[in-house]
Structure 1
């Protein structure tokens, strides 16, 4: 790759990340109806409460209201005129059999208990009615219509086990009343048992379809989010590889030039030779670290990336080399390393301490070149204390780099957070800067990468 190489951002990164699906996209009128009828989220939530439109959410109240307004007077009139039941009993049964339907929109199981009890009492009272012969018994036509409306509400709301129980109880009550059937009456117990089963099956199936579509929509949303996250990670890895290609090229050039300088420039003084050797060694070390990070990003297995993964990570024992390299670059740095500090910390803390000192010294070189710097690392029974303090920049030296993004301090905080420690950074009154990190030795967090 030539010196004019540039990082090319893949086209996919400029595309809009797909947003999670807001709802199921299913064709067909039945599936759309099932979505509207899906099970409410809470126990007392009305039917159709999750429907997208206001008129759909009000539809159950309107339908049940029409049933009550229609069935109430008809029930009273039929019980009074056709069955010759007393006016008081007819009115009470009419109210008890129809008005509880209003409760079916929010609590259909409670409404069913009330209506079934009222219908059962009505069947018992009709045994002694004057004109019950030749009419439907124990369930009147109005009771059957209201009961089927109640079954529809139950089927859209309750579980399959509850629906089966309601259906069996309905058949059981009808069978028990059949032992007291008046003469010359049409027994409607079997009719209601069959019709109730059909209604429960149909509405339960529609409700189940709506629930299934809702679960599919939720899974689609999760899948979309996972795909977006995977795309983002892939693009980050791609950019990292592009960045490696560019930076590795220039670092390789630096290494070759530094290694070949003593041969290209004969008569070079010994200190200058050592300086070029240090530059070449630092460039090679940077290339090695970049290759190890790239191996992690690529997720290579036991192939070419295995050597990079087996290479040891730097730690506190490498701080002396880091400080010496910084001193050779012209930065006065003093290192205070407690006896036994090297190798006393777990790998995650050991690596984090090294990276924090490395980033802090890099910031000093960039923003306060020539400033006297003190590095102190101490280890006790519970924690590692890292302290990097630098004074103000020496004289009026031009800052080597002024385009920092602030990611260095963010990276420090992330490493400290991963080890469960604390970080304190900030300027000093004399114009210097302080970085103080406390890294617990007993943290169970994952090792930073």
Structure 2
């Protein structure tokens, strides 16, 4: 243990003691939070307030040390140089904190050797301004580096003070009381530094956890979309395989080349279905409970089944109104499924985050696409905290972007929430959907 303590002492106070470690300015977010009423230009300069404070303190130390001694020709130069040396300690903490400690400690030694009158029993090396400045330097070093430097600097400082007291022939005097007082100050500074470090780590952990939760939610939503799209694509591929197999029997005397082409089409369709099932098996193996709440053989929902969703939401206590504008028409199955899921998630968010509020669902069949709008009012009672807040919006946005659409989600002026999305649907896609349903 002693060897480890000495090793840490050497690493902290001796190895690269004068390394350049500039103190960065305050973060813009902190300045904006502390003084939001200041203009932006003044807030930019406020970032350097700690540096200016330390500089002002050093100037005050210089003037106090300079005026506290008599001035003469040669003595005046010596006093001025010593005052500048004492005042340089706090300033150096901004750039080389450990080096500032050694510089400040050297001023204490010079002050003890040159200015302390040990002929008086009441004099000590702690009575001058050099030691007071040295204590301030140690506090700044602790706040800038790490808490354990407080103990290390305290041990080195008072070990040297005890040696100086013995060498200069003075009694212990106020060495014990000074040691206790400085220890209390340094421990307090170390506690502040430890609290700041712990708070920074907590913020970093919470930020990393939120980012990881967002990425995991995004991956889960993409996996859900992949499972749903599998049913859509598998349906069309199955139709292609069946039609390719039956086509040669619809024509008499089918040419061999045409029969071979249809057989090739069927083989490719079956191979594509096999690959889709294999990929979906990998997705399901990572989430064995993916279909725990629904039947995997059930058909995927569409906007035609929206009434059952609204009825279930109303039975849960949400007063919802549905408005359909435009002429309803068949849409591609992927668009129908995504639109249904967006409405479902929007109403679920209204139930979760706005209890007691009214909701409105607007579906607009317009030229070139489908418009969706889910809006709810202000909640009438306090909502329970939800750990997944914001993840439903992330999933809806992922669905809309997958189909090349646009989406906005934001709070309304009356305290509610609105989700608006537009999913483009080309004419070819609409005709294909119509043709598929007629077939």
State the TM-score, normalizing by the size of structure 1. Answer: 0.47
Using CA pairs below 8 Å that are at least 6 residues apart, which structure has the higher relative contact order? 1
Structure having the higher Rg: 1
State the TM-score, normalizing by the size of structure 2. Answer: 0.48
